[in-house]
Structure 1
C-alpha cells in the first residue's frame, strides 16, 4: 500500500470504504507530518490536534457503521485564516484583530463539517490578505516547500505550502486578485477560483465582489470533489448562487477535443515576462492541440485593468483598517496601511465608476471573447517564486509593486470568471511554473475538465519533503 502522505482525497475515501485505512490513522499521520514540516515552512497559525482527532474518531465511527455523512468524510482539510471556524480564532494574519474564538462556521466550513471533513488547522496568510505574498506581522514568513528560501506566494500561502507537501488533501483559500492561483503556481499545485458566488462567503469580504473562496489541491479531481461540497448554497450570503452545484466529478474526464482555445502570452499589455515562464507556458498551451483542441494565439482585447483593481482593492483595505486607531496601525504591515490610506481618499464616484462601469466593460469584453473561444490560456504569473520576505524580485525588473508580476490573475477577479492554474513545468533551478485556464462565467465544470485533460496527459511532479534553498 502506498504511503498515506502520497494519497489523494479520492484515494483515501476508497481506502475508507475498503477499511484498509481509517480516518484516525490518516489524521495521526497528517498531524505527525505537520509537526515535522511546520518548523521549516511555517504554514499553520491556529487549530488544535485534539479537535482534529475528535473529528477523525467521529468519522471512523461513521465509516465503521457504513454511514459516512458526506462526500469528504474523514478527509484531512485546512482552512485559511480569514475563513471562520467555530471555536478557533480568526486572526486574518493580523496581530490587532480580536483573539476571541469564532462563534460560527463560515459557509464553506459549515458545508465541510456537515460532509465529515477533518480539520487540521488554520493556515497562514499576509495581513487581511492584502498582497500576493506569504508573510505577516502575526506569523512571520511562510516558505515555499520547493525551495525554503523562496516565497510560496499568497495570500493563501499556508494553504499552498500544505498542498505541496500533502499535509491534508483539501485546502480552502480565498482569491481577491489571484490569492489562490498565485501560491498554487509558485508551489506546483492545482488551484481554482470558481465563478463568483459559486462558493458562498460570510461575512462578505471587504474586497466585495473581487473575493472568491476555493480549493487548492494536489489533483484536479480533489478540487472537483471539494468544490461540489463548499459550493452548496448558504442564505447568509445574498450575493451567492442559490442553486446547488453539480457534481463536478461527472464529465471531468471528457477531455477538450473540439474546444476552441485562445492562447494569450501577454494579454496584450504585459511588458515583463520571464523567458522560462513564457516558454514553458506556451509549450503547455500548444499541448492542448495534441489533445484535440483548436488552439489559436489571440489576445482578449482589453487594456491593463490595474487602476480598476487598485480603486476597489484600496477602498476595501480602508474599510478593513477603519476600526483600528493610529497606535494599532503601527503594528500593521506598512504596505497595507499605505494602501488603506490611499483607499480612504477614493471618492464615492470613483468607486462607483470602477465597481459599475469599468468592471462591466471588462466583463463584456471577455463575454465577447468567449463567443469565439471556449477557454483562454495564459501564464499564471510573470515570474517564478523569488526570495521570501520580498514584495518583488531583488533585481528590480518588476519595480516595487507586487501587482506587476501578477498581471494575469486580477483581471478575472474583476470579471468574476472561473480561473484555475495547473503546474506546467519548472525553471532551470527547479521552481514550478503555472498555466492559467480561464472560462466564461459559470463554466466552472469546463475549466476543471480542461485542467484534468492536461493533468491526465502530461501530469506534474509532486514533493514529499521540503527542499532547502541554494
Structure 2
C-alpha cells in the first residue's frame, strides 16, 4: 500500500497498463490512507467508498478488456467542494445551501475528468464559499497542514492541498480567486497551477467573477501537465472560456532541464518592490534562482514596477463575497462564518465608482504586466512571504492586519491580471515547513510556467520527501493492522 499511495498519476497509469496492479488496488490503498489521516488534517468533508470502488472496478474492467478510457483512466482524484458533482452534494462549506439542490449537476472540470476515466475519491474542504486564504468553515471545522497539524494548510483549496502530500490522492481540483490554489500549494509543499483565465472552463460562473480560476493540484509538475490536457477540453457553458488551443501540455514539458530553460528570460523579484519576506523564504528562493541560472536561464533581478494593488483587489474580491451572499437573508447569515458576513456587508456599501476605480487599476496592472512580458518570459517570486502559521487563524499571530490578503502579496495581483502562475516546492524552513516558488508568465503562455516548473523540479526534486504523518500511517496494512 505504501508503494501505491506515493505513486504519481503517470506511474499509476503505467502500472495499470503493465498489469502490475489495478485501479481497484490503488483506490483501496488511497481510501485506507484517507481513513488513517483525515481525522488529523480534515482534508475531505465527503468520502463515498462505495461510489469510488464502483468507478475503480469499472476502470479495472476497461483495462482487462483493452478499452481504456481517456488520459486518466483509473486514477483517483479528489474534488474541492465548490465544483458541482452529480452524485454528491456541493455545499461550499455552508449551511445555507440545500444539498439536494446541487445534485445532478456537473462542473466542466468534473465532467472532463469523468470523460477521461478518473476515479472520484470525494469532496475536499474549503472555507465557506471559498472566501479566504485559510481553510475552516462552520460545518467542517479546521483543515490542518500535513507537515505539522498545528499549522494551517492555507486556503481556500486547503483540503485539496492537504490530501496530496499524505498520499490520499495524486490529483486534486482547486479554485483560485486570490491565491487559493497557490497559497495551500506553497504551505503544503505540492504543485498548484492557476491557469490563464478562461483556459480551464468553469461553470457556474464564480461570484468572484473573472478573478476566479479552476486548476490542478498535484505532487509533480508532470501530473499537473497531464491533468491540464483533460481539464482544458471545451465546455460551452463557460462564456468566458477562450477558444480551445488543444495544447499537449505533457509533450511541451518533455526534455532535460537545460533544454527547457536555455535562453529563457526570467525576471527575479524577491519582494515585488514592496513585500517584507521571511529570511528563510528569501534564501530558499534565491538558491532556486541561482540553480535556474546555472541551467541556462537568463536571470535579471528586477521588480515589475507596480505598487501593491491590495486596496483594489479588496474591492473586487470582497465585492464578490457580497455577490455570493446577495440572496442570503439575515436568519441564514446567522449560521455563517461571521467574518465572511462582516466583509461582505462592508463591501456591499461600496459605491459603483469605488468598484470602477478598482477595475481601472486592474486594467492598468494588466497593461503593465503585458508590457513587462515583452522583455521577460517569466517572473519568478516566492509563492508566499512566510511559511504556514497556526491553524484556526486568518492571519499569523501578532500580524499587523486582520485580513488574509495582507500575507498573500505574491498571489492576488495575478488574479487581477488573469495570468498563469504556478507554485512548486523549493525547500523547507528550519521547522520543516514547505517553501514555495512561483513562476508567472504572460496571459495564455501557460506552457512557459509549466516548462520552467518542470525544469526546476527535475533539477531539484523534493518529491521523495513526505510528511512524517504519511510514514507513520503507512506502517499499517490495508486491513488496518500494524506491520512489524
With the shorter chain as reference, the TM-score category is: over 0.9
3-state SS of 2:410 partner: coil
Q: Which moved more, 1:208-217 or 1:399-408?
A: 399-408
Give 1:236 shift.
0.3
Say yes or no: does 1:453 pair with 2:458.
no
Determine the structure 2 residue equivalent to 1:241: 242
Q: Is the 8 A contact 1:392 1:399 kept in 2?
A: yes
Q: Distance in 1 between matches of 2:55 and 2:68?
A: 13
3-state SS of 2:438 partner: strand
Q: Is the 8 A contact 2:151 2:388 kept in 1?
A: yes
Determine the structure 2 residue equivalent to 1:265: 270
Q: Distance in 2 between matches of 1:84 and 1:401?
A: 28
Q: What does 1:35-46 align with in structure 2 at a 5 Å threshold?
A: 35-46=35-46
Q: Distance in 2 between matches of 1:102 and 1:308?
A: 36
Give 1:467 shift.
7.6
Determine the structure 1 residue equivalent to 2:480: none
3-state SS of 1:16 partner: helix
Q: Which moved more, 1:58-67 or 1:152-161?
A: 58-67
Q: Which moved more, 1:318-327 or 1:105-114?
A: 318-327
3-state SS of 2:457 partner: helix
**Candidates 316, 327, 331, aligned match of 1:327:** 331
Say yes or no: does 1:191 pair with 2:195.
no
Q: Distance in 1 between matches of 2:216 and 2:103?
A: 21
Give 1:150 shift.
0.3
Give 1:218 shift.
0.4
The change in CA–CA distance for 1:44 and 1:2 in structure 2 (over 3 A counts) is: closer
Unaligned residue ranges in structure 1 (runs of 5+): none
Q: What does 1:157-172 align with in structure 2 at a 5 Å threshold?
A: 157-172=158-173
CA deviations on 1:345-383 (whole Å, 9 max, x unpaired) are 12223223323x222110110111111110000011011
Give 1:166 shift.
2.1
Q: Distance in 1 between matches of 2:51 and 2:145?
A: 27
Q: Is the 8 A contact 1:154 1:182 kept in 2?
A: yes
- Structure 1 length-normalised TM: 0.97
The change in CA–CA distance for 1:157 and 1:306 in structure 2 (over 3 A counts) is: same
Give 1:2 shift.
7.3
CA deviations on 1:282-307 (whole Å, 9 max, x unpaired) are 21122110110010101001111111
Give 1:167 shift.
1.0
The change in CA–CA distance for 1:71 and 1:186 in structure 2 (over 3 A counts) is: same
Say yes or no: does 1:369 pair with 2:398.
no
Determine the structure 2 residue equivalent to 1:378: 381
- Structure 2 length-normalised TM: 0.94
Q: Distance in 2 between matches of 1:232 and 1:464?
A: 34
Give 1:398 shift.
4.2
Structure 1 runs (4+) deviating above 4 angstroms are: none
CA deviations on 1:153-191 (whole Å, 9 max, x unpaired) are 000000000111121111000000000000000000010
CA deviations on 1:403-426 (whole Å, 9 max, x unpaired) are 111000000000000000111111
Q: Which moved more, 1:273-282 or 1:135-144?
A: 273-282
3-state SS of 1:453 partner: helix
Give 1:393 shift.
1.3
Determine the structure 1 residue equivalent to 2:429: 427
**Candidates 315, 322, 338, aligned match of 1:311:** 315
Q: What does 1:346-361 align with in structure 2 at a 5 Å threshold?
A: 346-355=350-359, 357-361=360-364
CA deviations on 1:38-96 (whole Å, 9 max, x unpaired) are 11111111241111011111111111111111000000000000011102111101122
Q: Is the 8 A contact 2:232 2:244 kept in 1?
A: no
Q: Is the 8 A contact 1:156 1:173 kept in 2?
A: yes
Determine the structure 2 residue equivalent to 1:51: 51
Determine the structure 2 residue equivalent to 1:278: 282
Q: Is the 8 A contact 2:427 2:434 kept in 1?
A: yes
Q: Which moved more, 1:276-285 or 1:369-378?
A: 276-285
Q: Is the 8 A contact 1:166 1:218 kept in 2?
A: no
Determine the structure 2 residue equivalent to 1:86: 86
The change in CA–CA distance for 1:165 and 1:441 in structure 2 (over 3 A counts) is: same
Determine the structure 2 residue equivalent to 1:403: 405
Say yes or no: does 1:208 pair with 2:209.
yes
Q: Is the 8 A contact 1:265 1:378 kept in 2?
A: yes
Determine the structure 1 residue equivalent to 2:111: 110
CA deviations on 1:300-350 (whole Å, 9 max, x unpaired) are 011111111111111111111112111211121111111111221122232
Q: What does 1:458-469 align with in structure 2 at a 5 Å threshold?
A: 458-461=460-463, 462-463=465-466, 465-466=468-469
Q: Which moved more, 1:396-405 or 1:413-422?
A: 396-405
Q: Distance in 1 between matches of 2:428 and 2:2?
A: 26
3-state SS of 1:150 partner: strand
The change in CA–CA distance for 1:82 and 1:275 in structure 2 (over 3 A counts) is: same
The change in CA–CA distance for 1:2 and 1:39 in structure 2 (over 3 A counts) is: closer
Determine the structure 1 residue equivalent to 2:479: none
Q: Which moved more, 1:6-15 or 1:242-251?
A: 242-251
